[in-house]
């Protein structure tokens, strides 16, 4: 018997793809401005996590549950949630095709698909995550395991890795390492651990003032930092991690090294999600090709990007999303009125570098250097910055960013500059 699949077409004035930090923020902003039913959000996941909280979950300083909310409770009132995923973009027809087969058309679109964790790019890593000793704060499925591993650690090599691809919150693998150092010290077993931070980068951090502080932290904590090391294989049967050694341009030298681990925390390679990677919106790296100032698609002017999925040079963080949202709110509104974009994204990103169970270096920067909000020296680890990370930032995320009310700290920064200059 033949069956017929009925596929309904829907049209939205603004279609938002992805209901994470950037997608919800963008949808909230425009659902308030446009008539009821104008905004659609495509997002497949029923649970929404506050991912910056994963660092604290992995350190036993917060529960995973405290960082999770139901997506249905977060979708803005005036917007329509399409619980599905985009499989194909056809921008020449202003349309997307969903996994369920439906086609949706739009007048304008915001792409906010984030990045995909690519444990599959490391041989054996996906399977290893389900074996003793292997974990990752990047995944809600393996983040609690990190804390359990730190609490059960008896001795040997504790290895933390950083991949040879773009990654969201590039500080997170280091934070995991430093928190574990504190846990092992509290438990009185630190002397039994050889802690290794193996990174594909040439140094611990890109911004000089934070780099100095982090090098001091790593030295004081006796962490064995290995630069230009890239994890390529995990043999969980023998608890062996294999690294390729990279040259100054981060290209493989052909040499490899092996480390036997008791604990292995994987900082996963990341790529753009497949539907984006294979679409006309992508550049050759697979990320969305946008103008770095206006965040408008280079090829399709009715489409903008927000967040981690873009090829902008900023650090991929929720903090950067706040400034992206401010930029696209203005620029997309201009385009909707037939005008050209007029606001420029300033490159702002932030990474609260948790260096122990109660101290944070509050790094705020763009590619030119620090962009600090407070009048204090933020390159020093402080307790007040920890309190901001633990309490203020989650509140800002749930009540400000994803509701489209938080545009980043630029105004506060300008005020504190006045205080500093007095
Ligand atoms: P996401 O919030 O990841 O959302 C992307 C959404 O797109 C997802 O919901 C996904 O389901 C959806 N999607 C994907 N593919 C499709 C598709 N085909 N169709 C439809 N929808 C799709 N940031 C900070 O600012 N400070 C921190 O301290 C910090 N720490 C972090 C620690 C860890 C361990 C991690 C993992 C992240 C951290 N971040 C931090 C980074 C921050 O969480 C991200 O930068 C931020 O969430 C990016 O927002 P986004 O909207 O681009 O992506």
Over residues 1-52, the pLDDT tens digits come to 555 445 556 999 999 999 999 999 999 999 999 999 999 999 999 999 999 9
Helix ranges (H only) for 34-83 are: 54-58
Ligand 1 pocket test, candidate residues 52, 147, 354, most atoms within 8 A of CB: 52
Residue-level pLDDT at 129: 98
CATH topology of domain 118-270: FAD/NAD(P)-binding domain (3.50.50)
**Nearest protein Cα to ligand 1, atom 29:** 52
Which atom of ligand 1 has the smallest separation from the CA of 48?
A: 9
- Please give the pLDDT value at position 414: 86
Topology at the third CATH level for domain 11-115+272-346 = FAD/NAD(P)-binding domain (3.50.50)
Q: Of all atoms in ligand 1, which is nearest to the CA of residue 45?
A: 11
Q: Which helix (H) or strand (E) holds 421?
A: helix 410-421
Residue 6 Cα to ligand 1 middle (Å): 33
Which atom of ligand 1 sits closest to the CA of residue 274?
18
Q: Is-contact 350 319, C-beta < 8 A?
A: yes
Structure tokens given for 181:
């150092």
* Ligand 1: nearest atom to the Cα of 20: 4
Index of the ligand 1 atom closest to the CA of residue 319: 25
Task: Give me ligand 1 centre to Cα 114, in Å.
Answer: 5
Residues of the chain with CATH 3.50.50.60: 11-115+272-346, 118-270
Supply φ then ψ for residue 47, to 5 degrees: -110, 140
The parts of the chain modelled with pLDDT lower than 70 are: 1-9, 418-422
Q: What angle do CA 138, 139, 143 make, to 5 degrees?
A: 85
Q: Convert the pLDDT of each residue in 192-224 to its tens digit.
A: 999 999 999 999 999 999 999 999 999 999 999
Catalytic site residues? 169, 351
Tokens 């994987």 belong to which residue? 266
CA distances to 6, 11, 45, 89, 299 from 93, rounded to whole Å, are: 21, 12, 26, 9, 14
CB-based contact 351:314 (threshold 8 Å): no
The three-state secondary structure class of 128 is helix
H or E element, residue 24: helix 21-33
User: What residue ranges line ligand 1, CB within 6 angstroms?
Assistant: 17-23, 42-45, 51-52, 54-55, 85-86, 112-114, 137-138, 168-169, 172, 273, 275, 307-309, 316-319, 321, 350-352
Residue 291's φ and ψ, nearest 5 degrees, are -70, 125
Which of 12, 18, 47 to mutate for ligand 1's pocket (most ligand atoms within 8 Å of CB)?
A: 18
Nearest CA to ligand 1 atom 53: 114
pLDDT of residue 421: 64
What is the structure's pLDDT at 419?
67
How far is ligand 1, taken at its centre, from the CA of residue 118, in Å? Answer: 14
Residues near 199 by Cβ (< 8 Å), separated by ≥ 6? 161, 162, 173, 225, 226, 227, 228, 229
Q: Which two three-digit tokens encode residue 82?
A: 């399409």
**Ligand 1 geometric centre to CA of 300 (Å):** 24
The DSSP letter of residue 288 is B
- Calpha distance 377→272 (Å, rounded): 35
DSSP assignment letter at 65: G
Is residue 138 within 8 A of residue 172, CB to CB? The reply is yes
Question: Which residue puts its alpha carbon closest to atom 27 of ligand 1?
Answer: 52
Mutate to test the pocket of ligand 1, among 82, 98, 114, 141 (most ligand atoms within 8 A of CB): 114
Give the span between the Cα atoms of 93 and 319, in whole angstroms: 33
């Amino acid at each position: 018997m033949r069956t017929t699949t009925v596929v309904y077409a829907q049209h939205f004035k603004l279609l938002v793809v992805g209901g994470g930090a950037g997608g919800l923020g963008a949808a909230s902003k425009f659902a308030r401005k446009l008539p009821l039913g104008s905004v659609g959000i495509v997002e497949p996941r029923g649970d929404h996590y506050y991912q910056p909280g994963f660092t604290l979950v992995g350190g036993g300083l917060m529960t995973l549950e405290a960082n999770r909310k139901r997506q249905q409770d977060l979708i803005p009132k005036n917007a329509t949630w399409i619980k599905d995923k985009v499989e194909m973009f056809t921008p020449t027809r202003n349309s997307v095709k969903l996994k369920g087969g439906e086609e949706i058309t739009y007048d304008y679109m915001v792409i906010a698909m984030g990045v995909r964790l690519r444990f599959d790019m490391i041989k054996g890593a996906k399977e290893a995550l389900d074996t003793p000793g292997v974990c990752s704060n990047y995944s809600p499925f393996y983040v609690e395991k990190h804390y359990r591993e730190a609490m059960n650690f008896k001795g040997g090599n504790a290895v933390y890795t950083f991949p040879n691809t773009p990654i969201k919150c590039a500080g997170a693998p280091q934070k995991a390492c430093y928190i574990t150092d504190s846990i092992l010290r509290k438990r009185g077993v630190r002397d039994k651990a050889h802690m290794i931070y193996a990174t594909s980068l040439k140094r611990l951090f890109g911004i000089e003032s934070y780099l100095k502080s982090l090098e001091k932290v790593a030295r004081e904590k006796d962490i064995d930092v290995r630069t230009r090391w890239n994890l390529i294989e995990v043999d969980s049967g023998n608890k062996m991690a294999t690294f390729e050694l990279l040259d100054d341009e981060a290209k493989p030298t052909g040499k490899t090294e092996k480390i036997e681990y008791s604990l292995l925390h994987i900082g996963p390679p990341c790529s753009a999600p497949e539907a984006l990677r294979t679409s006309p919106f992508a550049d050759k790296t697979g990320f969305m090709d946008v103008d770095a100032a206006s965040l408008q698609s280079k090829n399709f002017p009715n489409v903008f990007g927000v967040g981690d999925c873009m090829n902008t040079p900023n650090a991929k963080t929720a903090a950067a999303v706040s400034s992206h949202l401010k930029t696209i709110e203005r620029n997309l509104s201009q385009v909707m009125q037939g005008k050209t974009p007029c606001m420029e994204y300033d490159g702002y990103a932030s990474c609260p570098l948790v260096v122990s169970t109660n101290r944070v270096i509050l790094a705020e920067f763009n590619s030119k250097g620090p962009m600090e909000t407070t009048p204090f020296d933020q390159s020093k680890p402080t307790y007040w910055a920890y309190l901001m990370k633990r309490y203020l930032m989650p509140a800002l995320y749930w009540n400000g960013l994803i509701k489209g009310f938080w545009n980043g700290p630029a105004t506060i920064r300008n005020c504190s500059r006045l205080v500093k200059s007095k």
